[in-house]
Structure 1
Amino acid sequence: MTTDPARVRLRRAALPATALVLFVLGWADLAQHYTVGAGPALVLAAARAAPVMWVRSRPLLAWGFSLAACVLAAALTHPVSAAEPWPMSVTALATQFVLLLVGGSVLGRAVSAAMAGTLVGAAAVLLAVLPGRGAWSGLVAVGVAAAVALAGAELLRDRAATRTRLAEQERISEAERVRRTLLEERARIGRELHDVVAHHMSLIAVRAETAPYRLADCPEPVREEFRAVGDAAREALTDMRRLLGLLRGGEDAERAPQPDVSGIPALVAAAGPTADLTMDGDLRQIPDTVSVCAYRVVQEALTNARRHAPGAPVTVDVRVTAAAVLVGVRNGPAVTPRPEAPESRLPGTAGARPVGPDGGGHGLMGMRERVAAVGGTCAAGEDPDGGFTVTAALPLSARA
């Protein structure tokens, strides 16, 4: 279904305009070509054409009312000459054609065929009951018009069904794209968590295994406890690698070291001379998982700024407080036309997706997923001046 306002207005005005044209032409046709006064012709023409306006909402009622008006007009009028068609005048037949076409596209095939048959049957009954006013050859025009209307209604039904299926398929495809994007981002988060946690778990296992040799006169129960700690650490590593394998889906793992907040200056520098960075606080106290998350938030925000607001000034603010890492990235409105060809991304943004019309907002979804994974909060939105701001609060005591 179209959402273009101009097309919607045109669609809504089409039937009233058609009804008005059929009314005016029908009035003139009855008054000039059939033995009926101007007043009765006005009433009969209005009764025949008015149902066109509500044929979409009440197709059977509209068609039945108009057909009754057409039969009444034929019964009350006589053609002024043998050249005038009867029982269905040209304007009456045109009205029935529109009602069969539009109403038939809303109703089913069987109902539409019954409507067309009733129209032909009504014309035949009038010719039989009121002989001498018209020729039986006039049924040919009625039958042809009914058949053409049925064929047109069938095409309109098929077109509507096709558009409905396409719209449903687009909704399904969009849902699948969103789902695939989130799954990819979760797998990437899982790999990064593995790299961070595996280092610490390996360190625990090594220190537990070497503790009996580094500590003099270590009692046997303590040695057993150290061995149990080491075994538990190795078992945790094995389970984590198994779960990560499920997340990867058989793909090879990323072997490059995971980035952290120390790489943010390089990101900002690569964004160009319009990007400005402010970093405050002790970066060394940031946990590894939070550090990776902060880097990814800045990376995604800069990528979106470069894609959707090329040439705009960008300010990046990273502050470390006693309880959280506060990240803010703001870009102004675009000052240069947006390029048609995809731009190269910033270093390390191979898997990122933009926020906005081209990316469908999937990058923002992944950013929120990543921030939520460390127990933080994320907000993003357009500024009154046309710019865009991304903020994130990442607690230093991030949950595992």
Structure 2
Amino acid sequence: MTSPVRALWAAPAAVPAPPRRVWRDWVLVGVIPALALVEASVRTDVPWRWLWAVVLAALAPTLLWRRSRPFTMLAIAFAVGTTVGVATAGDPQLYTTAYFLILLYAVFRWGSGRAMLAGGALVVIGMLLTFLATPPEVADVIGGVAVAVTTAMLGLAVRWRRRARSRELEQVRLLEREQLARDLHDTVAHHVSAIAIQAQAGSAVAATDPGATVRVLQAIEAEATRTLREMRAMVGVLRAPDDALAPTPGLAEIRSLAADAAAPRVVVTLGGDLDSVPQAVAAAVFRIAQEAVTNARRHARGATRIEVGVEVDVEGVRLEVRDDGGSAASTPSFGYGITGMRERAALLGGTCEAGPAPGGGWVVTAALPRAGWTA
């Protein structure tokens, strides 16, 4: 077998799996026998019309299993129809016979590759036997082949469209999972790091300064409250309908990083036309800044100050987060935080770099050009 035929032969059944039965199936099974009997009573010029009406009515229940057993139902219908056609030396002339096309459609819409190839061969054999029993006109042959091919192609088109749609939905789910993982990491890690630092400070001064211990506990309580509030907001966004989503953080919210009581102190500077930055870009800048501040608090040795600067101009947005800690390692540690920052920037056509700063400390820079989010 050639490669395309081999690939089709090995193709699995349609994904996602079809519904077993729906109300339309029962309507078809009830309507088709009635139509066949009515047509047989009206079209008195059709030979063997009552026989064909009974055969069509008897085969109508095959529609109930056309999704779960498409080839088997097609084989039953065409085998019985072809046998009756050969025995009566004529093809069925009742219009109700057209419902066989639903079975053919089902094979190419729901069946496996083997079912499609076998179903196509079955239809060809059935047509040849009928044509041999009663030689048809050329126009009838062309018309019959065209209808069968069109039905099969329609089933394939719907199948491929549904598969593409399923892949798109799966891709969206993966992106949502990645986005949720980043948000959880950025939000929770930021506040938990602040809590851990405050707890360490409280342990150090507990024996000598009870008042400082109280202040530390109050700061821990405030951080824990903010963490719970943000976690609840995220859960609410996941559960809310699309038109009730909570607002995402923007550039203005970067100032809130300076409100944290945890050391080292954070100084935020914002410049340029902040309102010109789209919400998605602003949220990404906020998350990158938040993660950079969290990393500085965790890893900057002896740092007393973290500077966060955002500048918006005609080129785009530039973010810089710098601490005054001791000399850092020349090679950054590629954890989930740095990876997440780079992914956020890359999704918007920008870049994010992290490394030692000249003269000591650590610096994170992110550049999000306008061309990246307007393309």
What is the TM-score of this pair, normalised by structure 2? 0.48
Larger radius of gyration: 1
